[in-house]
Chain A
Amino acid sequence: MKKQDAKTSPPVKVVGFRVEGATPSPRDTSLADAGAASTVTGSPSPVIIPPAFAGQSRGGEGTPAARVGGPPATPPSVTSGPSAAPSGSGELPPIRTDSSKGLDPDSFAKERTPTKATPVGASPPGGRTLPLTPVGTSAPADLGGQFAAAADDSPRVLQQHGAEAHAAASAAGKASPRGTPAKPQQQTAKPQQPAKQQQAAGGAAAAGGEKKSMKEMSKAERRALQEAQRAAKAAAAGGGGGKGGGAAAGGKGGNAAGGGGGGGKLQKQGSGTNLARQGCAPGRQGSNAKEEASKAADGQQGKGGRAQAAGRGSRQPSATVEAAAPPATRSKSAEMFAHLPQPRGVTLQSCASQRGPAVPLAAAKLGLRYADGSLRGGNARCIAMLQMFIQCIQEFRTPAGREFAKEFSPALNNIINFLVACRPLAVSMGNAIKSIKSCLEKMKLQPPPSEQAAKDLLIEKVQDYLEQKIRFADRMLVKYAIEKIQDGDTILTYAYSSVVAATLLAAHKAGKRFDVVVVDSRPLLEGRRMLAALLEGGITCEYCHLNSLSYQITEVDKVFLGAASVLSNGTVLSRVGTAAVALMAHAQRVPVLVCCESYKFHERVQLDAITHNELMDQEPLAKVQDRPDVPALEGWREEPKVHLLNLAYDLTPADVVSVVVTEMGAVPPSSVAVILREAQRDASSAGP
């Protein structure tokens, strides 16, 4: 199974991950792999345990952390690995602080290719080990190198690629009119970058001095340090006092456990952080017992991080993330959401300091635009991604004597990994990637005569997708949606949706007279963009906050909403707040029309917005923009009892949606599953 997988994909399948809550959509279709994939890539904890329960009522049985990471007692190298590694890879950027200094990517590549180690697999039965392979980054790093080498013939030194990414990123910052976060200090840091390239990998690393020094240590020294940390942790756990920062302890514990786990010295932080969950689990259970005894005392007696970690079981997973992440991006979401990828705050600097995979310039630019939020919306992101793919395909150079399809797919995965690291994929993007990958798979089976022919074929496929599935679909959708607007209507819309904006503007152009109520909400305030676009188009608008909805809804005739996706049970995945709008409209007997192209449909089913979601940066919640009279919530990161949660999406139940407008016409939400099935049948019949 692993071998099979190895041929088709790199060891780390960040693609399979949780794309905005996705199932392993865009991954390769290996049936044998499917089962593993679902366990590996789906939500790590299918049962969401309210954190408060975790600490107390759960008692001795498996703690949430244990559930997340796998059974606590199992040797890391055997069973827990598969589940641990990919989720580790989901946390790529923080993890990559570990250096693979001194590693020649070429030799590594040679060694790797035959067995194709899945990260876990790092210790296959044969005892084959991968010296100093940063799990989670190794393959992409290698492949990235290949790509980069092909792209611009620079030496394949990992940190070099990091610098490239940085340069690319700053270029992007300058080039992009919307302005990627090109902050002053980053700009100044940039010139120093080349000088540091040949140094220890971490030159510009965001990580602190300790990590840097770790990189400069020899292997033996590192191991010694690990031992020391483990000892320290044990002491802390035993004493039960003072040792602050449960997060840090968790991370170190993870390293220690990894070290003890046989072959563990080869486990880099990638899996180490995951192992930390297991490593910590028994300790936490112990302290759980203690806590049962002194529930009331907990938390207020200054037990520090350990007590907190014990008190709130499911905090642990996020804590391990925190351990690996630079302080600035330390996550403080509610523990209820510990199963979701934490907001990472990818910036120019953090990109530049990653010495993992190098990605082409275009991908770096795009990834940063995803990360800083200057490019939003399912369609816009997907279109930009496909255009970027076309550019990358053109730039890609296949090594002599190799097949394009086989060489490009890992490079593609590498790019996708980078995008995911910047921001989890939208369902639209996942579906597009899936389609491109299936095309690549076919090309592997029937290789086109030449590299150029292969490239042309793939580019054509991508362009087809772009034109037909998105642009043409949008035009058709708008045509159908306009029919639903009548003279004298008052249309309500929420936030910004490109296709809703297009519909309203087109209807206005077509001579229909109607007003629009634009409903908006913090923190994104995307409705302002909608408002400006509609006013510019000459439509009379009313603007209000989501909270005023019940005041507005009585005057409204129809509600038009955009969607990130419609799932096969008819629920609509869309910008957070959409569900509230739809629910209110439904209660007032106002028809709710959801505009969604069929390429955004997804066969997954989901019941609430918590099992899968995307967490956004919390900082905007702490400070209310445009309202100097509202005091900001300062110092919340240091305040252990305050958490901020910034969800990106919510889920609108199917029964409050009157109709889903697609390019095939307006259908009830229950028909989405049918359309998906038809599309699948089409796809399979069009296949070989």
Chain B
Amino acid sequence: MASQPFNERVEAFCRRLTDRRIDGSLAAAKGTAELLRQLITSSRLNTPEVMLAEVKRVGLRIQAAKPIELVIGNIVRRVLHIIREEMEAEQEEQDDDLLAGAAAGAHTPGGGDSVGGLSKAFRHPGATSSRTLSLHNLLDQGAMDEALASAAASLSPQSSAQLGGRGAAASPGPGGRRSSLDEKEKERRGGKAAQWDRKQEVIDGLNDLIQELKDIDEAIASQAAEHIHANEVILVWGYSRTVLAFLRRAAEKRNFEVVVTEGAPTYQGQQMARELAAAGIRATLIADSAVFAMMARVNKVVATAQALLANGGVMAPVGMHIAAMAAKRHSVPFVVLCGIYKLSTLFPHNPAVNFNDFKDPEDVLPLTHEAVGIPRRIAEETVARMQAEGDESWKLGLPSSLPQLTIVNPSYDYVPPELISLFVTDQGHGFMPSYVYRQLTEFYHRQDFILDKRQLDQLIG
């Protein structure tokens, strides 16, 4: 089997993540998706349950290699979601078959006519409990069933008889399903090489996901013309591939101007300005500090995010919080371009620390700078003085009054949802931060919102 090389590949990918050799969240997402596709195509995973467990296991391993790269968890959730959807579809299909069979056998009135959510709810209440909660199946939930059942009891005898008839027709459903499942299960366990017949659909779903990642910039850029008006002044922060593609696309139809900040500490704004100019867009490079001053003449801020959190806030390149606040202050729309793969189920708790990545302090202050040497020099002088005075207390520890220097260099900013006007994603249309909770249930299964927390903690150590 190919499992040994596969595990090695996973480990190699994890090492690259740990060593920060994978640049950006898109690369991490693509790598994760590719690995999971390999995992699923391996013939070992014959049942959906095994598949779910394995995907989770490998996903957690990758996530543990770089916990702050939230997209890894997102991709794992997406894959789990694909598998679960196939399981549900399979179940529904089986149920429909059973129902059709039962209807054919019993000829009870109303048995075969309804396929709506409500009537399904009556047929097999248990089957829907594991389904994703969404607008489409809201009424299928168990709680709703009970309510309907009690409502049915209080109805007139005639209608309750009708309902009872339907209920009777449906009643063989669960039992029959169970027995049929048992048979299938036996069949699977017995026939060693037997594949889950929905496996191909899962792989297709994964291929779609990988394709989605590949086309992500284009998908977002295709909406550019809707958001950028002629003669606007757009502010962008540092360099972003997605933003660049977006603006390029807009420039095909519109004539506008871009203000680019340097984007410390990576300082890729210079490159952004150059590439925008190469695309025929007027670009004005400013220092990060001038963002508030410039905001008075800016019509729109187009930003990117590292992660989109469950409350509608984002983790964005450091400094973006300032830009967002300045934009809010000037009532300038703050638009975040963000592939839906960045949508995370996590809520921000102390995000500036928990979801942050700290880089080399030398990027902020070169260690050759005079200020860096001052604390040490003062400490040495103090020790020398104490020695001269015969004071030996310094051996126990230097006096706490000595100056110290700390340099911090975080990579990301948390931008709270109230500062964000709009998310533009690859999923066709924009939405507000307040709609993020809906998107979560659209793309992930509720059971996967928290991947095994205990296991993750153990892996991180």
Contacts and interface: CB of A to CB of B under 8 A. Distances in A.
Nearest to A48: B297
B287 A621 contact: yes
A301 to B, nearest CB: 11
A547 B326 contact: no
A545 B264 contact: yes
Nearest to A623: B270
Contact of A50 (B231, B280, B410): B231
A645 B285 contact: yes
B45 to A, nearest CB: 43
Interface string A48-59: 101111001100
Which residue of A523, A621, A651 has the most chain B CB atoms within 10 A of its CB atom? A621
A630 B363 CA distance: 10
A523 B264 CA distance: 11
Nearest to A650: B293
B297 A521 contact: no
A636 B276 CA distance: 13
Given A56-B231, A531-B371, A641-B281, A646 B414 contact: no
Contact of A546 (B232, B288, B414): B288
A539 B401 CA distance: 8
A97 to B, nearest CB: 29
Interface stretch (A34-42, A344-352, A606-614): A606-614
A216 to B, nearest CB: 40
Contacts of B284: 334, 336, 642-645
A486 interface: no
A237 interface: no
B282 interface: yes
A577 B289 contact: yes
A633 interface: yes
Interface stretch (B116-124, B187-195, B255-263): B255-263
Contact of B365 (A48, A543, A639): A543
Contacts of A643: 282-285
Contacts of A532: 370-371, 374
A587 B325 contact: yes
Interface residues of A, number: 76
Contact of B408 (A544, A577, A653): A544
Contact of B406 (A528, A536, A541, A644): A541
B270 A551 contact: no
Contacts of B286: 621, 644-647
Interface in B367-423: 369-371, 374-375, 378, 401-410, 413-414
A641 B284 CA distance: 8
Nearest to A640: B277
Contact of A580 (B262, B285, B292, B370): B292
A56 B230 CA distance: 10
Interface in B242-290: 255-257, 259, 262-268, 270-271, 273-274, 276-277, 280-290
A538 B293 CA distance: 34
Contacts of A539: 403
Given A52-B257, A627-B267, A641 B276 contact: yes
29 contacts: A50-B297, A52-B257, A56-B230, A56-B255, A334-B284, A522-B264, A534-B403, A536-B378, A538-B403, A539-B403, A540-B404, A542-B407, A545-B264, A545-B265, A546-B319, A547-B413, A548-B410, A550-B413, A577-B290, A608-B293, A610-B294, A610-B297, A621-B286, A633-B271, A639-B274, A639-B277, A641-B280, A641-B281, A645-B286
Given A336-B297, A643-B285, A649-B293, 16 more contacts: A52-B282, A53-B231, A56-B231, A542-B407, A544-B408, A546-B289, A547-B264, A554-B352, A576-B287, A580-B289, A583-B329, A641-B281, A643-B284, A645-B284, A645-B290, A647-B290
Interface of B: 230-233, 255-257, 259, 262-268, 270-271, 273-274, 276-277, 280-294, 296-297, 318-319, 321-322, 325-326, 329, 352, 356, 363-366, 369-371, 374-375, 378, 401-410, 413-414
Nearest 7 A/B pairs, CB to CB = A577-B289, A547-B319, A641-B277, A609-B293, A608-B296, A521-B289, A550-B321
